[in-house]
Structure 1
Amino acid sequence: MTETIHVDQFLAQPPAEVWRMLVEPGRLASWWAPGDIAPEVGHQFSLDMGAWGAQRCTVIEVEDGRLISYTFGEGNVDWTITWRLEPEGVGTRLFLAHAGFDLDDPRHADAYRNMARGWAGAVLPRLVKVMAGATATG
Structure 2
Amino acid sequence: MDPDQIDPAGEGRVLSPDDGDYLRFERAVAQPPAEVWAALTDPDRTAAWAFRTEFEPRAGGTVTTFDGGAGEVLAWDEPHALEYAWDGPGGRWQVRIAIAEHGDGAFVTFDHVGPDPNSPDIAAGWHWHLDRLELHLSGGTPPEVDSDPHFEELQRLYSHAEG
Give the structure-2-normalised TM-score: 0.66
Q: Distance in 2 between matches of 1:90 and 1:12?
A: 7
Residue of structure 1 in register with 2:99 after alignment? 85
Gaps of 5+ in 2: 1-18, 141-163
Provide the alpha-carbon RMSD of the alignment: 2.3
Residue of structure 1 in register with 2:83 after alignment? 69
Deviation at 1:74, TM superposition (A): 5.0
Q: Are the counterparts in 2 of residues 45 and 58 from structure 1 also a CA contact under 8 Å?
A: yes
**Within 5 A, what are the aligned runs for 1:1-138?**
2-48=20-66, 53-74=67-88, 77-102=91-116, 112-120=119-127, 122-133=128-139
Q: Runs of 4 or more off by more than 4 Å in structure 1?
A: none
> Which amino acid is 1:118 matched to?
G
Deviation at 1:16, TM superposition (A): 0.7
Q: Distance in 2 between matches of 1:116 and 1:15?
A: 24
Gaps of 5+ in 1: 104-108
Residue of structure 1 in register with 2:12 after alignment? none
Q: Deviations over 1:15-61 (max 9, x none)?
A: 1100111111111111111122233112213211xxxx443221011
> Which amino acid is 1:63 matched to?
D
Q: Distance in 2 between matches of 1:116 and 1:37?
A: 24
> Which amino acid is 2:54 matched to?
D
Deviation at 1:2, TM superposition (A): 4.7
Residues 1:98 and 1:24: Cα distance change in structure 2 (over 3 Å): same
Q: Distance in 1 between matches of 2:72 and 2:124?
A: 25
SS in 2 for 1:78: strand
Q: Distance in 1 between matches of 2:139 and 2:116?
A: 37
Deviation at 1:102, TM superposition (A): 4.8
> Which amino acid is 1:130 matched to?
H
- Which structure is richer in relative contact order (CA contacts within 8 A, separation 6 or more)? 1
Percent sequence identity is: 25
